[in-house]
């Protein structure tokens, strides 16, 4: 009995050893997020993108497109207590600020009830409306806007 | 000296001309003493006009200071910083002393623990922000203008939104704080200030 146990243990150790050697022999390609830089050297610094300068409203490319934000929104907060965007774009403020007013659709909740103030599901502006930076397109794009909204 | 220890003696001693010291000695001691006292007073006051002093209280360090650290007045491309006292303490002496006397109320509330938790601070935020807005409005945003001078602003170098707003603001007699609220700290709940800029039904 004792002999059997010893033999089994030895067999296990040997097979384990063989297994490990086999794995170690295969070259492993692991690429971390910091690239192939040696650990004692700095990682590649991504080229920081800059906000585009303020400009006139940007034309839409398709009918349902949420209009792009033609200005920087750095430091603008949207939370439960206030929405920085609406201090210019709300129906109360757009005239004095000269901003585009938010669409009438933004007052409608998911049950189609129209509210007196912006609906919760349309409150987080940057879910759909995005600001622009000076980045080049990552892939080639041949999209053309439809004729009748140009 | 015996007179000064008896009843009413101190007042008499102060009123009686000194017979022991020359007028010159009294003047020199008074002059030097005055310089030391005044220097000490101003040094002590300036020591309370530092960011380090402000954030030595956890109320400032854990709330407003953390918010300020994310803003352009803390870190920016040119490395010019506006610290707490640059905006919250007047530069001119008279206004500064008036503000320092008002600050005794802040010490009182520090002792009471009026805003010693984030929840208490948040509940008071609108009132506290309102105090600063009102003070800024009253002084025509004096502390902003220590650095941001309307006269020296070149609108043509600004973005189109800023150019338009500054031109209209100057003509309309507005002051910095009218638009630039919540630029260094989080805004309070704006339901009572501008309900159209907050989610939820208007009252």
Residue A144 within a domain: yes
Per-residue pLDDT at A136 exceeds 50: yes
Residue A72 within a domain: yes
User: Helices in B2-117 by DSSP H: which ranges?
Assistant: 2-5, 9-15, 23-47, 51-54, 58-59, 65-68, 84-88, 93-112
Which residue on chain A is closest to B183 by alpha carbon? A75
Q: Based on C-alpha coordinates, what's the Rg of chain B?
A: 24
CATH of the domain at A148: 1.10.1130.10
Give pLDDT, residue A24.
58
Q: Nearest-CA distance from B179 to chain A in Å?
A: 9
Distance of CA A32 to the CA centre of its chain: 20
Residue A78 within a domain: yes
Tell me which residue of B122, B92, B121 sits closest to B109, measured CA to CA: B121
Residue A147 within a domain: yes
The chain-wide mean pLDDT, for chain B, equals: 90
Closest partner residue to A54 among B72, B159, B189, by Cβ?
B159
Structural domain including A77 reads 52-150
Residue A20 within a domain: no
Q: CA-to-CA distance for B77 and B96, rounded, in angstroms?
A: 30
Give pLDDT, residue B9.
83
Query: Domain residue spans in chain B?
Result: 33-146, 152-177
Q: Nearest-CA distance from B132 to chain A in Å?
A: 18
Per-residue pLDDT at B196 exceeds 70: yes
pLDDT tens per residue, range A91-113: 999 998 889 999 999 999 999 99
Residue A1 within a domain: no
Q: Nearest-CA distance from B186 to chain A in Å?
A: 8
pLDDT tens per residue, range B88-131: 999 999 999 999 999 999 999 999 999 999 999 999 999 999 99
Reported confidence tier of residue B4, pLDDT bands at 50, 70, 90: very low
Q: Is the Cβ pair A55, B160 closer than 8 Å?
A: yes
Number of domains in chain A: 1
Q: Nearest-CA distance from A85 to chain B in Å?
A: 8
Contacts of A77 in chain B (CB under 8 A): 182, 186-187
Contacts of B180 in chain A (CB under 8 A): none
pLDDT tens per residue, range A15-57: 555 555 555 577 777 777 777 778 888 877 778 888 888 889 9
Contacts of B159 in chain A (CB under 8 A): 53-54, 71-72
Give pLDDT, residue B14.
84
Residue A13 within a domain: no
> B136: burial class by Cβ within 10 Å (0-12, 13-18, 19+)?
buried
Judge if ipTM > 0.85: no
Label each residue of B132-190 as H, E or C: HHHHHHHCCCHHHHCCCCHHHCCHHHCCHHHHHHHHHHHHCCCCHHHHCCCCCCCCCCH
Residue A47 within a domain: no
Give pLDDT, residue A145.
86
pLDDT tens per residue, range B154-190: 989 998 889 988 988 877 889 999 999 999 999 999 8
Residues 6+ apart with CB under 8 A from B169: B178, B179
* Chain A residues interacting with chain B (CB cutoff of 8 angstroms): 53-56, 71-72, 75, 77, 80-84, 86-87, 90-93, 97-98, 115-118, 120, 123
Q: CA-to-CA distance for B36 and B33, rounded, in angstroms?
A: 5
């Amino acid at each position: 009995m004792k002999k059997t146990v010893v033999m089994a243990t030895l067999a296990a150790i040997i097979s384990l050893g063989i297994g490990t050697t086999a794995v170690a022999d295969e070259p492993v390609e692991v690429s971390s997020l910091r690239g192939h830089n040696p650990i004692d050297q700095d990682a590649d610094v991504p080229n920081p993108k800059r906000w585009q300068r303020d400009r006139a409203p940007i034309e839409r490319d398709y009918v349902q497109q949420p209009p792009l934000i033609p200005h920087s929104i750095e430091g603008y907060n949207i939370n439960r207590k206030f929405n920085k965007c609406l201090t210019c774009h709300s129906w109360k403020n757009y005239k004095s600020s000269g901003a585009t007013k938010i669409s009438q659709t933004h007052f409608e909740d998911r049950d189609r009830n129209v509210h007196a103030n912006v609906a919760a599901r349309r409150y987080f502006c940057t879910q759909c409306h995005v600001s622009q930076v000076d980045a080049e397109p990552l892939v080639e794009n041949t999209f053309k806007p439809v004729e009748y909204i140009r | 000296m015996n007179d000064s220890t008896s009843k009413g003696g101190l007042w008499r001693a102060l009123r009686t001309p000194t017979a022991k010291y020359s007028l010159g000695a009294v003047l020199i001691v008074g002059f030097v003493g005055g310089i030391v006292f005044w220097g000490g007073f101003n040094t002590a006051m300036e020591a309370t006009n530092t960011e380090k002093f402000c954030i030595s209280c956890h109320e400032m360090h854990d709330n407003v200071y953390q918010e300020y650290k994310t803003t352009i007045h803390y870190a920016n491309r040119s490395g010019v910083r506006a610290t707490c006292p640059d905006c919250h303490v007047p530069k001119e002496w008279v206004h500064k002393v008036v503000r320092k006397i008002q600050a005794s109320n802040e010490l009182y509330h520090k002792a009471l623990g009026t805003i010693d938790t984030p929840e208490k601070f948040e509940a008071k935020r609108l009132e506290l922000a309102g105090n600063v807005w009102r003070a800024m409005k009253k002084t025509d945003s004096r502390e902003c203008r220590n650095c941001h001078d309307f006269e020296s602003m070149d609108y043509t170098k600004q973005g189109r939104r800023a150019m338009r707003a500054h031109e209209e603001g100057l003509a309309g007699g507005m002051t910095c704080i009218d638009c630039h609220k919540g630029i260094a700290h989080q805004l309070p709940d704006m339901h009572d200030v501008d309900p159209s800029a907050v989610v939820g039904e208007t009252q």
